[in-house]
Amino acid sequence: MTGPLTLTLCLTHQCNLRCRYCYAGHKYHSTMSQATLERAVDIALDEAQRLGRHLDISFFGGEPLLEWELLQYGWQYASQIVTNSKVRLRFGVTTNGTLLTQEKSAWLVERDFLIGLSLDGSPAMHNTNRCFANGSGSHAQASRALRHLLQYPAARFKIICVVNPHNHLYLCEGVSWLHRHKAGTIGLNFDYWSPWSDAQFDSLAHHMQLLADQVLDSYRAGTPWQVECFADKIRSYIAHPQQPCNRCQLGERELAVSVDGHFFPCSRLVGVGDDPAITFGDVHTGINRARQQLMIATRGNATPECRLCALRYRCINSCGCSNFASSGAINQVSPFLCNLQQLIIRLADSLAETLYAERNPAFMQQFYG
345 belongs to a structural domain: yes
pLDDT band for position 244 (cuts 50, 70, 90): low
Residue type at 125 in one-letter notation: M
For a pLDDT cut of 90, what percent of the chain falls above it? Answer: 82
253 & 334 share domain: no
310 belongs to a structural domain: yes
137 belongs to a structural domain: no
pLDDT tens-digit series, residues 286-299: 999 999 999 989 98
Mean pLDDT of all residues in 51-55 = 94
Longest dimension (CA), the chain: 59
Cβ 281 vs Cβ 74: under 8 Å: no
DSSP code of residue 227 = B
What's the angle, vertex CA 354, arms to CA 350 and CA 359, rounded to 5? 145
Q: Judge residue 352's burial from the number of C-beta atoms within 10 Å of its C-beta, 0-12 exposed, 13-18 middle, 19 or more buried.
A: buried
Neighbouring residues of 212: CB distance < 8 A, sequence distance ≥ 6 = 230, 347, 348, 350, 351
276 & 318 share domain: no
pLDDT at 274 over 70: no
The confidence score (pLDDT) of residue 251 equals 87
pLDDT at 245 over 70: no
CA distance 45 to 306: 37
Last residue of a domain, one of 298, 313, 337: 298
Measured CA distances, 325 to 124, 180, 268, 336, 337 (Å): 26, 32, 9, 11, 10
239 & 278 share domain: no
pLDDT band for position 149 (cuts 50, 70, 90): very high
261 & 344 share domain: no
pLDDT tens-digit series, residues 58-111: 999 999 999 999 999 999 999 999 987 889 999 999 999 999 999 999 999 999
CA distance 362 to 131: 37
81 & 200 share domain: no
The confidence score (pLDDT) of residue 277 equals 76
180 belongs to a structural domain: no
Please, what is the average pLDDT of the chain?
Answer: 93
pLDDT at 207 over 80: yes
The confidence score (pLDDT) of residue 242 equals 59
The confidence score (pLDDT) of residue 363 equals 98
pLDDT band for position 361 (cuts 50, 70, 90): very high
362 & 283 share domain: no
β-partners of residue 56 are 6, 90
254 belongs to a structural domain: yes
Domain ranges, residue 345: 192-244+300-369
The confidence score (pLDDT) of residue 84 equals 78
154 belongs to a structural domain: no
Cβ 33 vs Cβ 11: under 8 Å: no
232 & 257 share domain: no
Handedness of CA 220, 225, 180, 192 (dihedral sign): positive
pLDDT at 253 over 80: yes
pLDDT at 2 over 90: no
pLDDT tens-digit series, residues 19-52: 998 876 655 578 999 999 999 999 999 999 999 9
206 & 351 share domain: yes
DSSP 5-25: EEEEEE-BS--SB--TT--S-
72 & 5 share domain: yes
212 & 66 share domain: no
CA distance 367 to 358: 14
CA distance 345 to 205: 12
Number of domains making up the chain: 2
Last residue of a domain, one of 298, 315, 338: 298
pLDDT at 240 over 80: no
pLDDT at 1 over 60: no
288 & 361 share domain: no
105 belongs to a structural domain: no
| 3-state SS class at 164 | coil
108 belongs to a structural domain: no
6 & 88 share domain: yes
